[in-house]
Amino acid sequence: MKLHSPRFEKSLRRGVKQAVRSSPELKKEHRKAKGAVRRQMQAAWFFRIFFAGWMGFAVWGVISVTNHPASGLAIISLWNFFMLSVSVQNLLTLLYKATDLPALGLLPISEPEIFRWEMQKFYRKYALSSLFDQIVGFGAMAICLHLSYGQWVLAMMLAVASWTMLLALALFCAARLPRLKYQMVISSFYLLGFIVLIAHKVIGDVLVKFLDSIAPGLNLILPTGWVPSLFQLMSPGGEWMLVVLIIPIVFFISTIKNSLELLRSRLVYTEQEQPEASDQVPGVDLDEHDPDDAPILPANVGVTAIEEIIQSRQFLFQMSPQGWFEKRLWDWFNTREKALAEFAFPTGIHITKPWKLILRNFVIMVLAGYAFSKVSVTIEFWTFGIGLFITFCQCLAQILGNGSAFRVMFNSGVNIPIYAGYPISFNELSGMLFKAAVIQLPLFMVYTMACALLSTYFTGWILSTGIIFGFKIGLFIFSGRFITTALAFSACTNDSTRFRLRTVALIPIFLGSFCLYLGLGGAGLFVPNALVAWLLWFAAIIDAYILFRIYGWFYHANRFDLMSFPRR
């Protein structure tokens, strides 16, 4: 679509080209920017093709082992579920948080045109690439099952239908379920992928057998598996009852228009006029009083009261933590770390209440799984699987949370992390975040060992083996805090956006250390020799710490610029 007059755009492009040709400096900048964009696009397409090929290879490998089409279709269903979360998150970002929205809001352009513009970007950058995934996945199914030419055509039609269903679900979730934790789903799939990558020789057969046993139910439970399930109608022993799935498929596809209208109705540019806020007097919490009562303070205090607050140093009043773990953490912080905690967690650090919620969900999952075990083993597996997935995501959010410490502000065409505007160092901020994570380590270790003990019920492991495995995997995941903290700082800098000597040195070191961390950790969990396994496990934790320190050295040496260009 055109955001302005085509004649104006044509003349503007011609004028820009003439200005660039007449200036050697502009020519140099143009070649530099064009090369950076080209390299970025090439890298994006390379990784996109790589991941799609990996998914097709997984479909082919699972069918080769199980000889069941439903197992291969389960891979496509899970992949589509992952892409659904990615698509919803990207769609919400493009529509309501895109970097070009402030500029477009100042132009004489209607809101429907801005909406169509952002939706076109979504279709080009994300939606079309997911169509390639469907073609690869269904193509791998067709190759494994040696389909005829006519069946190939039907398989490609199902690929297009699956892509349409994925798009309809993305629009449906973005319009009606925008507050779901899609990032937690994405992070969990990434973690699962890394675990499978480093330990596929040890747990590969178990995972394939487990997937083969739950594949039919998985394809029916996940909405992203309804269209792939129709593929089984082409097999000789296909269940024709699956035709019923066409009804919910048509329903969700029919909601596309309504979902677009809902998303469009929320894209409104109005000048927000906030009433004048009352002065916040340190040490006084107005929220604790009954709103029906008369206010205990005037809306705005006078000059004399302000001078008294400053002279008495009352304005330095700090937050009062609630909960046993919060109080222990607050006592552990020094004065500087308390100030950093108020900066990173403006609403306070919450530990006790979230972990009570995790405990409640875990207990409900165990009781429900035990109750369903009397009815059906399949339902029991699904109950435990869904419960563990939800509680594990909640635990990761607690252990790896950074609050608002790395929130990025878009200013003058660049992204600037909010901490860059304050005298906050790498060691200070990371040290405060580590303490906030360490205080929760006992709770996380209890959770991982409880999960390991629960797994002994299904795997037949010895009780002591389950406890040791839970202890190892708990500390191994926790040590990833070193890596995630370095990545949080890295996301706010330009350390990997330009091809320079420091980038050539940093990226191989970082990727090599990260792969070594995963390899040592996986070996430390599954190597039969106990002594060697403990040494490898300990080496993985040391490797994560060294990786954190290496990035800190680069950071303190001022090798990075804290102003980074938005990634396209």
Calculate the average pLDDT of the chain.
Answer: 81
The reported pLDDT for the residue numbered 7 is: 80
pLDDT of 563 strictly over 70: no
Task: Write the single-letter amino acid at 539.
Answer: A
Q: Which two tokens stand for residue 439?
A: 């205080």
* Residue pLDDT, tens place only, 213-230: 888 888 888 899 999 999
Mean pLDDT of 227-248: 83
Q: Where is average pLDDT lowest: 26-35, 174-183, 207-216? A: 26-35
* Highest mean pLDDT pick, 131-140, 401-410, 494-503: 131-140
Query: pLDDT above 70 covers what percent of the chain?
Result: 83
Locate all alpha helices (DSSP H) within 222-351, ordered by sequence: 226-229, 246-254, 256-266, 303-311, 324-332, 335-344
For residue range 421-446, list pLDDT tens digits in order.
888 888 999 999 999 999 999 999 99
> Mean pLDDT throughout 399-413?
79
Predicted pLDDT at 176 = 93
Reported as a single tens digit per residue, the pLDDT across 467-513 is 888 899 899 989 989 988 988 888 777 655 555 555 566 677 777 78
C-beta separation of 245 from 77 below 8 A: no
Per-residue pLDDT tens digits for 450-461: 988 887 776 667
Write down the number of H helices and E strands in the chain: 21, 2
Give the integer Cα–Cα distance in Å for 109 and 3.
7
- CA–CA distance from 492 to each of 294, 416, 496 (Å)? 46, 7, 11
What distance in Å separates the CA atoms of residue 108 and residue 121, rounded to the nearest whole number? 20
Strand partners, 416: 409
Q: How far is CA 28 from the centre of its chain?
A: 37
Q: Which of 18-27, 166-175, 486-495, 542-551 has the least mean pLDDT?
A: 486-495
pLDDT number for residue 316: 61
Return the closest-CA partner of residue 357 out of 322, 329, 394.
394
> How far apart (Å, rounded) are the C-alpha atoms in residues 516 and 537?
11
Q: Which amino acid is at 401?
A: G
- The closest of 424, 423, 524, 433 to 487, measured between CA atoms, is 433
pLDDT over 90 (residue 174): yes
Q: How many residues does the chain have?
A: 568
Which residues are registered as beta bridge partners of 525?
A: none
Q: Are 84 and 222 in contact (CB under 8 A)?
A: no
User: H or E element: which one contains 98?
Assistant: none
| pLDDT at res. 497 | 53
CA distance 55 to 263: 31
Residue 255 has pLDDT above 70, yes or no: yes
How many Cα atoms sit within 13 Å of 336 on the Cβ side? 11
Predicted confidence at residue 258, as pLDDT, reads 94
Closest by CA position to 119, among listed 251, 270, 261? 261
For the stretch 34-87, pLDDT in tens is 776 676 676 677 777 878 888 888 888 888 888 888 888 999 999 999 999 999
- Rounded to whole angstroms, the maximal C-alpha distance in the chain is 88
pLDDT, tens digit, 9 for 90 and up, residues 506-538: 677 777 787 888 788 878 887 888 889 899 999
pLDDT band at 297 (very low <50, low <70, confident <90, very high): very low
